[in-house]
């Protein structure tokens, strides 16, 4: 729902999201004449020359329900279940001043039926306000909307000089990567639990598992393991792009293009009983990618037969302004890779929704997917196909098994604050989250590096804008219909008085009094 709204191009309608728990507590509002809430403006950004989101931040308009036939120059109030792209476009077609979406204070904990009842109360109240009391919506700011040009995109990565080094001379490298930022209709409400908190959680757990395995020199495989967390994933994977450009230009980083077995990108792995491997070109037999896919199929069919596994092939179109998955960034540099996700369609609304909260993630399925990936990697790296089936030989068991409590704790940490890209280097809580991720890397990996890529101020890849979170005032006013009625009454009264004066003037004698 909310993800589809992000595809809307430049709009003159300011879409506002309201945390309206106090407004929804009763079907009738108290007798106060004004109310103040926090409003979140719909996402606004430019992806190079492509303008997306709303363009306005100031709203002064009378409130109307979505069922009203006349929305021109009105602020349309919609309940959450009724908010669709079609209704938004209809409001835009009628030149509505704004769209205000009513949200409960905690979306993930409020049952759907409660949201429906509360929203129905508000809708009933709004429909009756023409004959009673109307509301004037005011979001005012004397400052114009300004572009934010000093954003930095932070990428956490492990250097290529030896993190979880394998045995042998110049062994190939397996890169495991995930983007950590989130997206949604409003940046301050984008917590991104499944997309891509789940991918980050799986990556951190893989780092722990293989560190425990590699801690014994006898257990090292003939592969280097490189772990990477990247920013800007929701904006064309700009963090990955800049990281690749920086590393590919250095001679000591030739490992990236000369000796990479494959890149495994993790994206949306916290739900469903499906797993899809997204590739830019079908891997050929005998290649490392082909061998890893075989191990995935064996582990799933042997231990988790109810999970549907498939490969989705999508060519990279260099004419398109955006890329669908992170592995496409590597493919453009001729580095083989693929993305593992429970989503089949990269355009799924679940990849960019404010409703993507912890309630959308099933920790049991997240743990299962972690086991599938870890066991498949280990079977490929240690060449265990001839040693026995995945049921007979399980690498990660006993003290090495992944823990439910750890996965839950990591997910809670990642969803504790919104992770919209424009907030990550600005807000204290988001900065603390980045520091926590860095410490988690340092706990299990060596030579952890933190890169902050500054954009070109003259020609930025992505431009964000301010005033995304503002106070909103709601004033009780009499509706226009009441003003017209009152004006008519006054005019009628004055007409009657005037007529009475004229009649009196006609009956009074004009001569002297006797």
For 178-211, what is each residue's pLDDT tens digit? Answer: 999 998 888 888 999 999 999 999 999 999 999 9
Model pLDDT, residue 18: 45
Least confident among 106-110, 224-228, 351-355, 483-487:
106-110
Q: Which domains does the chain have, with CATH numbers?
A: 2-147+466-477 (no CATH), 150-454 (3.40.630)
Q: Which residue has the higher pLDDT, 435 or 126?
A: 435
Model pLDDT, residue 258: 67
Model pLDDT, residue 93: 85
Model pLDDT, residue 257: 56
Residue 309 belongs to what H/E stretch? strand 308-313
For 247-263, what is each residue's pLDDT tens digit? Answer: 776 545 455 656 899 99
Tokens of 386: 């001839």
Model pLDDT, residue 513: 47
For 417-454, what is each residue's pLDDT tens digit? Answer: 999 988 888 789 998 999 999 999 999 998 888 888 87
Least confident among 28-37, 154-163, 204-213, 442-451:
154-163
pTM of the model: 0.82
Model pLDDT, residue 133: 59
Q: What is the mean pLDDT of residues 20-31?
A: 39
* Percentages of the chain per state (helix, strand, coil), in multiples of 5: 35, 25, 40
Model pLDDT, residue 128: 41
Model pLDDT, residue 33: 66
Sheet holding 260-266, edge to edge: 308-313, 274-279, 337-341, 260-266, 173-179, 224-230, 152-158, 448-454
* Residue 352 · residue 52 · CB < 8 Å: no
Q: Check residue 144 and report its DSSP letter.
A: P
Tokens of 398: 């006993």
Residue 484 belongs to what H/E stretch? helix 480-507
Least confident among 258-262, 378-382, 483-487:
483-487
Q: Which of 283, 282, 278, 289 is nearest to 346 (CA)?
A: 278
Model pLDDT, residue 234: 87
Model pLDDT, residue 410: 96
Confidence band of 512 (pLDDT split at 50, 70, 90) = low
Tokens of 8: 């809307």
Query: Please, what is the Cα angle at 508 between 505 and 511, to 5 degrees?
Result: 120
């Amino acid at each position: 729902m909310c993800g589809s709204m992000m595809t809307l191009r430049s709009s003159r309608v300011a879409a506002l999201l309201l945390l309206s728990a106090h407004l929804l507590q009763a079907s009738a509002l108290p007798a106060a004449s004004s109310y103040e809430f926090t409003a979140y403006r719909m996402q606004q950004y430019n992806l190079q020359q492509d303008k997306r989101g709303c363009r306005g931040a100031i709203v002064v308009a009378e409130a109307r329900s979505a069922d009203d036939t006349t929305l021109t120059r009105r602020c349309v109030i919609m309940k959450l279940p009724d908010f669709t792209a079609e209704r938004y476009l209809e409001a835009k077609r009628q030149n509505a001043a704004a769209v205000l979406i009513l949200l409960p204070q905690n979306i993930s904990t409020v049952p759907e039926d409660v949201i429906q009842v509360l929203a129905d109360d508000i809708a009933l109240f709004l429909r009756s306000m023409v004959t009673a009391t109307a509301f004037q919506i005011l979001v005012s700011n004397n400052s114009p909307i300004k572009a934010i040009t000093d954003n930095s995109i932070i990428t956490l990565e492990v250097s290529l000089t030896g993190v979880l080094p394998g045995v042998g001379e110049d062994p190939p490298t397996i890169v495991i990567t995930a983007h950590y930022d989130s997206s949604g209709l409003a940046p301050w409400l984008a917590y991104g639990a499944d997309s891509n908190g789940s991918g980050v959680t799986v990556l951190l757990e893989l780092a722990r598992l293989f560190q425990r395995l590699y801690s014994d020199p006898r257990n090292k495989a003939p592969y280097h393991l490189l772990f990477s967390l990247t920013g800007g994933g929701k904006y064309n994977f700009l963090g990955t792009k800049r990281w690749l450009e920086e590393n590919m230009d250095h001679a000591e980083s030739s490992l990236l293009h000369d000796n990479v077995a494959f890149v495994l990108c993790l994206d949306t792995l916290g739900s469903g009983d499906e797993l899809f491997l997204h590739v830019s070109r079908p891997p050929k037999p005998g290649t490392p990618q082909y061998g890893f896919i075989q191990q995935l199929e064996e582990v799933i069919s042997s231990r988790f037969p109810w999970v549907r596994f498939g490969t989705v092939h999508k060519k990279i179109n260099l004419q398109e302004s955006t890329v669908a998955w992170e592995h496409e960034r590597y493919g453009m540099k001729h580095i083989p890779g693929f993305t593992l996700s429970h989503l089949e369609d990269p355009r799924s609304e679940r990849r960019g929704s404010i409703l993507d909260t912890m309630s959308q993630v099933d920790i049991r399925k997240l743990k299962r997917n972690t086991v599938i990936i870890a066991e498949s990697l280990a079977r490929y790296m240690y060449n265990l196909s001839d040693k026995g089936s995945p049921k007979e030989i399980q690498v990660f068991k006993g003290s090495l098994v992944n823990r439910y409590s750890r996965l839950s704790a990591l997910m809670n940490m990642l969803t504790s604050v919104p992770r919209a890209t424009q907030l990550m280097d600005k807000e204290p809580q988001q900065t603390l989250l980045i520091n926590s991720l860095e410490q988690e890397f340092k706990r299990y990996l060596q030579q952890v590096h933190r890169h902050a890529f500054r954009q070109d101020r003259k020609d930025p890849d992505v431009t964000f804008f301010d005033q995304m979170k503002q106070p909103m005032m709601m004033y009780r006013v009499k509706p226009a219909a009441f003003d017209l009625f009152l004006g008519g009454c006054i005019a009628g009264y004055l007409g009657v008085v005037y007529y009475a004066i004229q009649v009196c003037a006609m009956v009074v004698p004009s001569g002297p009094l006797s």
